[in-house]
Structure 1
Amino acid sequence: MTRQPHDQFAKQYLEELLSPLGTVETSRDVPSEVRQVDVWFVPASSPSTDSSNLGLLGKMAATACLFEPFRNAPTVAEIHGCLLKLYSLRAELLRKARREKRSVSEDELPLLWILSPSCSQRLLNGFSAKLSQDENWGEGVYFLPEFLRTALVAINQLPVSQDTLWLRVLGKRRTQQQAIEELLELPKESPWRRNILEILANWRINVDSSERLSNADRELIMNLSPAYFKWREEAVSEGRQEGIREGIREERRQMVENFLRVRFGEIDAELEAIIAPMLQLTPQVLTRLLFSLSREELLLWFGEGSGVEERFGEGKREKVENLLKVRFGEVDQELADKIAAMLELPHQELTPLLLTLSREELLEQLRGEHS
């Protein structure tokens, strides 16, 4: 189901990012059989913004190029199809140059960037794709032999940095989830932030409108939901839409219910009881917890009643450490030193601290209580 909405999203997304740097044409027809290049880009001589703002994507857009983004890892046949588009477009450009009686060097011909959420070793070996030895492209960017002018980008292998953010948004699962979290943390005045949030929100709407959602669709909706709700909230605060606020809470509840069904098969009475407290969290935190915590852990941290404290048993420290890893990515020494203090707190005091405070706020709170 997600293939067509993803194609539409990826083209709109890349067009939004690249248009300040040059001419962008989506779904460009190429000769021979009717084929369409997903995104054809030609850099402007005087772009309206610095390409470095787009990091690695801006570096790719330094020359004329094709972008072929895939939602799922491409097959061998799909890679061949991308190469055929490149060769067809290359032949068209060479014919045009001959008609205009001018020469075209190899370096002037377009590059092909195949953007994939992942690349198997078999695929890389089969196309002799290797990391660049000449330029600093970093991990995850595999170049085919020189004269093919093509690279496979394994998005899940890209370093996690601001430089790769705009490409990682096109990834899947945790890669995309983390990139969207980073996008939401950008200042409101950051270039592209507002428009990209709207594009991500529209992608979620398109996927969610299907009558038959697969598990992959529901997972995608969960990934996109923080961006969607942030866009809705900002739209309300800016007065750009009316009547939005009333539906946000109900939509968030539906999102949580759908994800619980995907993970656990059904929503029984125990899970039903913890939905309301989960909705008090921000979409970013909630999404991460729903992806990472087991059913037992969700009931432990969001459940209420006299039996909650007993559920910790002897593994309370392990459960606290796991939640800290989910919230903050790792348990560094400073956090580890405070776990003993956390374990002294009763469940009803510890839970809101771990679920709602930032790392800095949590450490400050614990320092204050034990000063």
Structure 2
Amino acid sequence: FQEQLAAAEQRGEQRGEQRGEQRGEQRGRIAGIQQGIQQGIQQGIQQGIEQGIQQGIQQGIERGRREENRLILENLLQVRLGELDAKVALFIRPLSALSAADLTRLLVQLSALPVDENGVRLAQELLAEHVLRMYFESGDERLTNLVPSLLGLSVDDLEVLLSQLPELSVEELLGRL
């Protein structure tokens, strides 16, 4: 009987150890999984913050560049032509997105305009044509023919149309003008 009791105790101890090990391993796995999930969440948050900061910096730089371009264009036109009329002012904002090379070419063209009423008219035409060429195929001659119609719009209608240009095709623009 003593031998059976000792054997039963030994089996009980072994089973207890096995169960303890299994439970310990299971708890360890659960703790490891939880720790892994927590680390993954923290890494994801950190990456999101870093990407957000980088994207914010890039957007800020782009906004600053556009604002600087707008001021340069606006100042040149005011110096050359005096007070800017509402139509000229409407064309300045989209043109502020031009690349440095394209903006420089436009500034050179504007600086060559006469300083009189004819210069104001030519500036309006030049600005209108550049805005159209920003959004549409630059080789399309129909764009040049649209400039007088575009300039014939009221200030309110012109403002609406300029805001819609990025979504329009040339055919849709032709239909509206």
Structure exhibiting the larger radius of gyration computed from Cα positions = 2
TM-score, normalised to structure 1, is 0.21
TM-score, normalised to structure 2, is 0.36
Q: Higher relative contact order by CA 8 Å / sep ≥ 6: 1 or 2? A: 2
